[in-house]
Amino acid sequence: MKNRVPLIAGNWKMFKTISEAADTAKQLANLVSDVEDIDIMIAPPFTALAAVSEIIRDTRIDLGAQNLFWEKEGAFTGEISAPMLIAAGCQYVIIGHSERRQYFGETDETVNQRIKTASTAGLIPILCVGETETQRDDQKTFSVLDKQVTKGLESLILDEHHSLVIAYEPVWAIGTGKTASPDQVQEVHAFLRDLLEKQFGNMHANATRILYGGSVKPDNASELMALPDIDGALVGGASLKPDSFARIIHF
């Protein structure tokens, strides 16, 4: 029996200008105004955070960012800090997305610094982990995930004020239309929960939401969400259109 409130999170990546993001947020807010028992988060690009924050202020949609840097301020051209995200209205921040690892040189060490910074600042970090197709074919899925979680969360402190979300996103399923099978997803999520238990103890392992991400669509959301260790979804492509994202939220 799951006692965790599901979280459906939308990662808008590098899509939408300020006005497009505001428009999408407005439409989404109308479409999900009846939702009660599910947490909802959208992560627009940095430029649209403040505008979207205003629009979702009195709704049950929360705001997330797609990354942060670990220093508070300074000569770090192009970076964004935790206090800046909080001032823009964010409650969550996505960290270690596979696109950041693949194209922007993120490592488990830099992911760990970002995670700890986010958590200390009062943001809820969403740690993204996942294996590539080659790693899965080479039977390395579990060792890859073990390293990403153990190093990514090293010396993180969880307590009643500091929680965490994990998103399992097999790289081969992101934006490809290929979804991991329910058996594959449940097997990995149970493994991740065991890792959390080893690192943080039973209470935090049970309280931590583990999302699945990778080509989640309105027509596969309910099957995935019914699995015992799946507590929601991190949605890329299908979160860009209010209608399809709302259908996923109504799984």
Cβ proximity to ligand PEP, 95 vs 158, nearer residue = 95
> Under rule CB under 6 A, how many of the chain's residues touch ligand PEP?
13
Contacts for 123 with CB less than 8 Å, ≥ 6 apart: 65, 68, 82, 85, 86, 90, 91, 92, 93
Q: CA separation (Å) from 115 to 63, 90, 123, 143, 218? A: 17, 15, 9, 21, 30
The packing angle between helices 18-31 and 242-249, to 10°, is 40
Check binding of 237 to ligand PEP (CB under 6 A). Answer: yes
Query: Of 36, 97, 154, 160, which one is the catalytic site residue?
Result: 97
Near ligand PEP by CB under 6 A: residue from 165, 221, 230, 234? 234
Under rule CB under 6 A, residue 44 binds ligand PEP = no
Three-state DSSP class for 218?
A: coil
The token pair that represents 11 in the structure block: 């990662």
Q: Is residue 229 a contact residue for ligand PEP (CB under 6 A)?
A: no
Residues 163-182 that bind ligand PEP (CB under 6 A): 169, 174-175
CB of 235 to ligand PEP, least distance (A): 5
Residue nearest to ligand PEP (CB): 236
Give the binding site for ligand PEP (CB under 6 A): 11, 169, 174-175, 213-216, 234-238
List active site positions.
97, 169
